[in-house]
Structure 1
Amino acid sequence: MPIALPVFRLAPALLALLLSGCTSLDYYAQLGRGQLELLAARQPVSELLADPAGDAELKRRLALAQQARDFASAELGLPDNRSYRLYADLGRPYVVWNVFATPELSLAPLTHCFPVAGCVAYRGYYRQGRARGAAALLQQRGLDTHVAGIEAYSTLGWFADPLLNTMLRWGDERLAAVIFHELAHQRLYIADDTAFNESFASFVERQGLRQWRAARGLAPGDAREESMRRQFSELILASRERLQALYDGPGSEQHKRAGKAAEFERLRAEYRALRDGPWRGDARYDAWIMAPLNNAKLLPFGLYDRWVPAFAALFAEAGGDWVRFYRRAADLGALAPAERERRLTALQAAQ
């Protein structure tokens, strides 16, 4: 699941001036180095496509990505700039590794706040070893942690974001969808509201992919796959609600630890029932759910689709017109947080 890293809204040198403390400076120094390495690795896609000695499959994928990139601006009203018209091979499977953390008996994320971009529930690292080291230090403080590899992120238009080798691990449709998603972050981003930002981008991605498929004369997407993804997410969210009730309720820490362990076993059992029942043995989520579970691992769920139905309703209100839709979404983003949530809730109920 792609997660934007809004921290990159500011250039590394400016970030360093705005922060103090050795730990902060060291963290931002690695961000600056990583971003500069990524920028230095960029090559124009047009040159790669024109190279007669270039890899044929790479050229096919890059050509498809350029078609999706053109479609994004021409048909979806997304920014027309140099983003995703460049390519960078980083020689690794992920561009960054995000570290999530929560208290042992809470689902409240450890947040990190940055100038302009606001607060987010993770920290990103360009080296897996550094991410694991940061997670280990948090574990020593008694926190639950989760390290997630990320294939793509958006600098929100501060830099020309390239296509990455990490993105080419996906199928053709997923590659197009992620281009739509990340460009949507450039179109609209609201500081301190991750659920709004990710739900907005997820709606643009999904609606954009529907229009992309229709324009290419392809059949609608796989409804079964979409249903499975939704059911899995609902399973995790239901487990999270039960954990929240446990943590907020009475009882000793020992009682809550035992309840937490029992909840994770219940989650695995319910997943197996889905996998072996209506999913007919499809085990695509086995590796995730059979690995160690903790509060931090559940954090990303719900961020990407919490308000998607609300944005679908807003799109319908705009008559399917992207310009009007973006204007109305920006108006929502300009509201005070409580009023924004009230309005999104009302849209959701009407969908």
Structure 2
Amino acid sequence: MNTRLQRLLTPVAALLALFGLQGCSTLDYYGHLAVGQAQLLQARQPIAQLLADPAVDPELKQRLALAQQARDFASAELGLPDNGSYRLYADIQRPYVVWNVFATPEFSLTPELHCFPIAGCVAYRGFYSQGRARGAAALLKQQGLDTYQAGIEAYSTLGWFDDPILNTMLRWSDERLVAVIFHELAHQQLYVADDTAFNESFASFVEQQGLRQWRTEQNLPAQDPQGEQQRAQFSALVLASRARLEQLYRSGLPAEQMRAGKQAEFARLRQHYAELREREWGGVGHYDGWINAPLNNAKLLPFGLYDQWVPAFAALFAQAGGVWTQFYPRVEALAQLPSAEREQALQQLSAQAQNLRR
């Protein structure tokens, strides 16, 4: 291990040690996280230097220049943190930065939670190595759990480190790259431990509203409503399937009947998708790969988390007069509420948003 990597590992390892982590498997996992994060930090380069270097590929320069424009816009116009995050670049020489492993019981859509010192409890476990992710998923399968692995192109350290633009993010369109910068900075603006739906819905609203303002600023056309409609229709299709599965799992039927009913529901989901694809989308489906791969409970987990409370935050933004500096304190006040009260307040805001649309 080189000297620079050792220096980077020291604050990461010290942070983990503060929480008194015990057990060989736990120490091994957190050691893996510390090394992976340190290697990512080691790979960072200031974007300003890369833009000034004549040897850097012009296409890379163009994407990084766009990222810096969006980064400046995020703080100046959206009121997001003005720090060193996304002013650096790191090429980590792989297609994903981490692989997340989701798991559920065979007859439940309740995720196996994993609790972390900073992020709180979340519905997945992340790995910097795809091999480790596969190994973890295999062990969970041996325990009779449904599992799903997802490659992730970006994540936020919630302001603990200066997060870089990654090579994994540059595969996206210009708009998607800009959107993710807004989304991840929103997590640095505000994050509530143990409430994934709140955190992701808040970041998704900031991303969506931020993109509207970005398009106006850049004189870009409005987002293609057809693509947004397809995403909403597909999400609704999967959420309806989830609801039917939850009803099945509460039925108290014998295991064999529930197992058969589960597979019948996945067949039904595929059939409904095929009908939607032909009826509404002209025979072109952007989700064919997802729907045709093996389905299980764990694969359905991410649906709903990123969108559940977006209408509530939209209503709150309207109450704040569309002013970010007035919006964020209102979100902070929501975050301070006990979990049950916070959910009740979000439900009321969502109802207000629905009434406004009528």
Specify if TM > 0.5: yes
Q: Which residue, out of 339, 342, 354, partners 1:337?
A: 339
Q: Which residue, out of 95, 98, 103, partners 1:96?
A: 98
Offset at residue 12 of structure 1 (A): 3.2
Matched residue, 1:11: 12
CA distance in 2, matches of 1:350, 1:329: 16
Matched residue, 1:306: 308
The aligned amino acid for 1:230 is: A
Q: Which residue, out of 268, 271, 283, partners 1:269?
A: 271
Q: Which residue, out of 145, 148, 153, partners 1:146?
A: 148
CA distance in 1, matches of 2:200, 2:87: 23
Q: TM-score, normalising length from structure 2?
A: 0.94
Matched residue, 2:293: 291
Matched residue, 2:8: none
Offset at residue 109 of structure 1 (A): 0.3
After TM superposition, what 4+ stretches of structure 1 lie above 2 angstroms from structure 2? Answer: 10-14
CA distance in 2, matches of 1:200, 1:237: 20
Task: Verify the 8 A CA contact 1:16 1:28 in the aligned structure 2.
Answer: no
Q: Which residue, out of 73, 76, 79, partners 1:77?
A: 79
Q: Name the SS for the 1:277 alignment partner.
A: helix
Matched residue, 2:70: 68
Matched residue, 1:178: 180
Task: Verify the 8 A CA contact 2:12 2:38 in the aligned structure 1.
Answer: no
CA distance in 2, matches of 1:225, 1:237: 18
Q: Name the SS for the 2:198 alignment partner.
A: helix
CA distance in 2, matches of 1:186, 1:282: 37
Q: Which residue, out of 252, 255, 261, partners 2:254?
A: 252
How many aligned residue pairs are there?
Answer: 342
For each residue in 1:157-204, what CA deviation from the matched residue of structure 2 results, as whole angstroms up to 9, or x when unmatched?
A: 000000000000100000000000000000000011000000000000
Structure 2: any 5+ residue segments left out of the alignment? Answer: 1-10, 354-358
Structure 1: any 5+ residue segments left out of the alignment? Answer: 1-9
The aligned amino acid for 2:264 is: A
Q: Which residue, out of 120, 128, 131, partners 1:129?
A: 131
CA distance in 2, matches of 1:349, 1:241: 20
Task: Verify the 8 A CA contact 1:120 1:194 in the aligned structure 2.
Answer: yes
Q: Name the SS for the 1:47 alignment partner.
A: helix
Matched residue, 1:282: 284
CA distance in 2, matches of 1:190, 1:208: 21
Residue 216 of structure 2 is aligned to residue 214 of structure 1? yes
The aligned amino acid for 2:141 is: Q
Task: Verify the 8 A CA contact 1:12 1:31 in the aligned structure 2.
Answer: no
Task: Verify the 8 A CA contact 1:16 1:25 in the aligned structure 2.
Answer: no
Offset at residue 251 of structure 1 (A): 1.0
Task: Verify the 8 A CA contact 2:16 2:30 in the aligned structure 1.
Answer: yes
Residue 28 of structure 2 is aligned to residue 20 of structure 1? no
Offset at residue 30 of structure 1 (A): 0.5
Which is further off, 111-120 or 231-240? 111-120
CA distance in 2, matches of 1:16, 1:120: 20
Offset at residue 74 of structure 1 (A): 0.2
Matched residue, 1:4: none
Matched residue, 1:227: 229
CA distance in 1, matches of 2:250, 2:13: 40
Q: Name the SS for the 1:145 alignment partner.
A: strand
- Once superposed, what is the RMSD of the aligned Cα atoms? 0.9
Which is further off, 10-19 or 245-254? 10-19
The aligned amino acid for 1:63 is: A
Higher relative contact order (CA closer than 8 Å, sequence separation 6+): 1
Matched residue, 1:319: 321
CA distance in 2, matches of 1:99, 1:254: 26
Offset at residue 242 of structure 1 (A): 0.3
Q: Name the SS for the 1:283 alignment partner.
A: coil
CA distance in 1, matches of 2:248, 2:163: 42
The aligned amino acid for 1:34 is: G
CA distance in 2, matches of 1:116, 1:149: 22
Matched residue, 2:356: none
Offset at residue 16 of structure 1 (A): 3.7
